[in-house]
A and B are shown apart, each in its own frame.
Chain A
Amino acid sequence: MSESVPLTILIADDTDSDRLILEAIVKKEGHRVVSVCDGQEAISAFIAERPDMVLLDALMPRLDGFGAARKIKELAGQELVPIIFLTSLTDTESLVHCLDAGGDDFLSKPYNRVILKAKIKSFSRMREMHNEVQIQRDQIASHNDHLMQEQTIAKQVFDNIAHTGCLDAANVNYFLSPLAVFNGDVIVAAIRPSGSMMVLLGDFTGHGLPAAIGAMPLASSFYGMVQKGFSMVDILREVNQKLKQILPIGVFCCATIVDMNFVKKKIKIWNGGLPDGYVHRAATGEVETIKSTHLPLGVLDDMSFRDDCQHIEMELGDRLYMWSDGIIESRNGSGDMFGEERLRALFDSKKQAEPVFDRILNSVHEYAEGERDDDLSLIELTMVEPAEVINTNLDYEPQRYGGLLEWALDLELKPSTFRMFDPLPLLLNILVEVPGLRSHSGNLYTILAELYSNALEHGVLGLDSSWKQTPEGFARYYDERKKRVDALEGGFVRFKLDHEVEGDGGTLNIRVTDSGPGFEHQRNINNSHKAEGYSGRGIPLIRTLCDSLRYIGVGNQVEVIFKWDADD
């Protein structure tokens, strides 16, 4: 018995004795035989039995081997069905004819059992391999389909992000690569409650969908915070921190962000890792460059992050251009890059009627000579009067402050709370929801912490801060503090916070009242750091951080006023 898998083999030979011999040999090798006498029968038998292999006599009546072979190959289609021609034709021309007709091999007469066995075995192996390859190919095709589907969905999600905001405003011209989802470019733009416009152009490292994933949190932070009135610096920090947190090391986002103020006719701009931005002066045609002076977003932690910006005045008609490196790196047929010089030169010719924006796109398109030239992102912002910018995009939400602006908060803490709750994080969490206060959170924390500890320790618990002068006294102080808090049965500390908007900024009024007896504050107003009762209350420190501080009544109530100005 042969060791290969039993096959079904079709034998077509018009000479009876030859056919008998072949049948016997093939059966002896353990295979199943289907035998016919001519070409026509061979085709019918092939259709009926779908054999694994065919042994075909070259010269037969009715339809000869060549005709039968062609038809069988056609019927087999994608499947590999080896055809071995049985022939004692020896001339090359005839053998070539066999191969042309679809034959894969020859077996000459007299039939040699060993040779036939070898050929069957070898073709059987080939068939198996072929089948395997087909299966793998089908798997790959199927996976590919899935991938394409996923990418289509991702692109739709991405397009929703990429094309919201105020990109349709009258003073905005932009081109975002249709393949942006795959090359990591993103443009977000929104109008702030104050009327100015904030735009961010980002270029995430990497390619494909991973590059685009960073765009989602970036866009959601951007739009959420702009709407609430947060400043460009606030938003920059938040986005940087978020990206640093979620992106793997080595993945980052080169970006330029700009805040364009139409009333004051100036821009504030920050460039981390993108090519130079241009300010094109309408009057003189001159170009000022805005260089990248920062590391890209997502690289530095919040502490190391630098948010210093450039401030540039722009007159009506002046234009700001920002682009990703796709323009500069566009290549022509010879592989040369478009380059910065060419780009810069486009701004020089005053005589051209074509607007610069179109000029840029058309030049790159021509240069690329049909090579892929849509892998670029470009945005042009024109300085206009404020009225031209308001409400131009109907899809955009109506202007309103979304942040905490006019409010008052009353929080009273009683003994059981003193023991285990620190109110400062809670209060601070609320305060940073006020757009103008977020950047002052450090100072506000210091102020509240001092006022709270004064109120609790000196006011309610009656501790004497002079104990804290010596190390032993220090330990004793805190020991005593714990004892008194645990033993406390009455008393309170009350926070009253009040915030109002004032012009371009706001005022925060903080009042802390405690249930203690107060202290002699009136006598010591001009001598604050030396006077009795003031020591240890950190008053000098607080004074440097706020606009005003005063004690009210018997001294168990303190009022601090903290003003902020819009970061414009």
Chain B
Amino acid sequence: MTGPVDTETLSMLKEVMEDDFSELITTFLDDAASRVGQLPSLLEQGDAKALRLCAHSLKGSSSNLGAIVFSDLCFEIESRANDNQLEEIEGYIERIEQEFLRVKSALEKLL
């Protein structure tokens, strides 16, 4: 099982961001936390479109940070929301919340 974040991606990011690397990490974590938190209520509201957009956005930003597993889970939610298959999403939200904790922990170590 792969780690929550891809080390190669992160080292490339570190090189690119230089002194702003920490800012990047915190920015991502704040944004991601907020979006992950929105997922349950969006599902409850049955807003498939908003769910899709939220998951899509999370998918993109997390992939940039090398959180592959997390990103894939977002994709699962995004595609189901796209097909209006809201029933299965609840399970995925749980898994995403779990994975996020691992990602968060891994990234915070780099600050």
Q: A and B: direct contact (Cβ < 8 Å)?
A: yes
Chain A residues near B (Cβ < 8 Å): 14-18, 20-21, 24-25, 28, 59, 88-89, 109-111, 113
Within 8 A of A (CB), among B61-98: 61, 63-66
Contact of A24 among B16, B59, B65 (CB under 8 A): B16
5 chain-A/chain-B pairs, Cβ below 8 angstroms: A18-B64, A24-B17, A109-B59, A109-B63, A111-B64
Contact of A17 among B12, B16, B18, B31 (CB under 8 A): B31
For the complex, give the distance between the alpha carbons of A61 and B66 in Å: 25
Which residues of B lie under 8 Å from residue A18 when comparing CB positions? 60-61, 64
Which residues of A lie under 8 Å from residue B38 when comparing CB positions? none
Q: Which partner residue on chain A sits nearest B35 by CB separation?
A: A15
Which residues of A lie under 8 Å from residue B31 when comparing CB positions? 15-17
For the complex, give the distance between the alpha carbons of A109 and B31 in Å: 17
Distance between A171 CB and nearest chain B CB, rounded to angstroms: 90
For the complex, give the distance between the alpha carbons of A21 and B21 in Å: 9
Which residues of A lie under 8 Å from residue B66 when comparing CB positions? 110
B101 part of interface (Cβ distance < 8 Å): no
* In the complex with contacts A24-B20, A59-B53, A16-B63 CB distance below 8 A: no
10 further A-B contacts with Cβ under 8 Å, apart from A17-B28, A88-B60, are: A15-B57, A16-B27, A17-B31, A17-B61, A18-B60, A18-B61, A18-B64, A20-B24, A21-B64, A59-B53
Q: Is the CB of A59 within 8 A of B24?
A: no
For the complex, give the distance between the alpha carbons of A110 and B28 in Å: 14
B23 part of interface (Cβ distance < 8 Å): yes
Distance between B43 CB and nearest chain A CB, rounded to angstroms: 19
> Which interface residue of A21, A25, A59, A89 has the most chain B CB atoms within 10 A?
A21
* In the complex with contacts A25-B16, A113-B12, A113-B16, A17-B65 CB distance below 8 A: yes
Distance between A59 CB and nearest chain B CB, rounded to angstroms: 6
Q: Is the CB of B9 within 8 A of A110?
A: yes
Which residues of A lie under 8 Å from residue B59 when comparing CB positions? 88, 109
> Which interface residue of A18, A20, A59, A110 has the most chain B CB atoms within 10 A?
A110
Which residues of B lie under 8 Å from residue A113 when comparing CB positions? 12, 16
B102 part of interface (Cβ distance < 8 Å): no
Q: How large is the interface on B (under 10, 10 to 19, 20 to 34, 35 or more residues)?
A: 20 to 34
Which residues of A lie under 8 Å from residue B56 when comparing CB positions? 59, 88-89
* In the complex with contacts A24-B17, A25-B16, A15-B61 CB distance below 8 A: yes
Q: Is the CB of B63 within 8 A of A20?
A: no
Which residues of B lie under 8 Å from residue A21 when comparing CB positions? 13, 16-17, 24, 64
Distance between B72 CB and nearest chain A CB, rounded to angstroms: 12
Within 8 A of A (CB), among B28-47: 28, 31
Distance between A395 CB and nearest chain B CB, rounded to angstroms: 84
Contact of B57 among A25, A28, A59 (CB under 8 A): A59
Distance between B98 CB and nearest chain A CB, rounded to angstroms: 21
For the complex, give the distance between the alpha carbons of A20 and B65 in Å: 12
For the complex, give the distance between the alpha carbons of A109 and B61 in Å: 8
Q: Which partner residue on chain B sits nearest A112 by CB separation?
A: B12
For the complex, give the distance between the alpha carbons of A59 and B65 in Å: 19
Distance between A37 CB and nearest chain B CB, rounded to angstroms: 12
For the complex, give the distance between the alpha carbons of A16 and B58 in Å: 11
Contact of A110 among B27, B53, B64 (CB under 8 A): B64
Q: Which partner residue on chain A sits nearest B24 by CB separation?
A: A20
> Which interface residue of A24, A28, A59, A113 has the most chain B CB atoms within 10 A?
A24
Distance between A92 CB and nearest chain B CB, rounded to angstroms: 15
For the complex, give the distance between the alpha carbons of A25 and B64 in Å: 12
Distance between B60 CB and nearest chain A CB, rounded to angstroms: 4
Q: Mark B3-19, 1 if CB is under 8 A from A, else 0.
A: 00000010011001110
Which residues of B lie under 8 Å from residue A16 when comparing CB positions? 27-28, 31
> Which interface residue of A16, A18, A28 has the most chain B CB atoms within 10 A?
A18
For the complex, give the distance between the alpha carbons of A110 and B61 in Å: 8
Which residues of A lie under 8 Å from residue B57 when comparing CB positions? 14-15, 59
For the complex, give the distance between the alpha carbons of A384 and B65 in Å: 103
Distance between A257 CB and nearest chain B CB, rounded to angstroms: 87
Distance between B106 CB and nearest chain A CB, rounded to angstroms: 15
Distance between A523 CB and nearest chain B CB, rounded to angstroms: 130
Distance between B27 CB and nearest chain A CB, rounded to angstroms: 5
Contact of B64 among A17, A28, A59, A89 (CB under 8 A): A17
Q: Is the CB of A17 within 8 A of B27?
A: yes
> Which interface residue of B23, B27, B60, B65 has the most chain A CB atoms within 10 A?
B60
Q: Which partner residue on chain A sits nearest B66 by CB separation?
A: A110
Which residues of B lie under 8 Å from residue A28 when comparing CB positions? 16
Distance between A23 CB and nearest chain B CB, rounded to angstroms: 9
Q: Which partner residue on chain B sits nearest A15 by CB separation?
A: B61
Which residues of A lie under 8 Å from residue B24 when comparing CB positions? 17, 20-21
Which residues of A lie under 8 Å from residue B17 when comparing CB positions? 20-21, 24
Which residues of A lie under 8 Å from residue B20 when comparing CB positions? 20, 24
For the complex, give the distance between the alpha carbons of A111 and B9 in Å: 10
* In the complex with contacts A28-B16, A59-B53, A20-B60 CB distance below 8 A: no
For the complex, give the distance between the alpha carbons of A109 and B64 in Å: 6
For the complex, give the distance between the alpha carbons of A423 and B27 in Å: 110
For the complex, give the distance between the alpha carbons of A299 and B12 in Å: 82
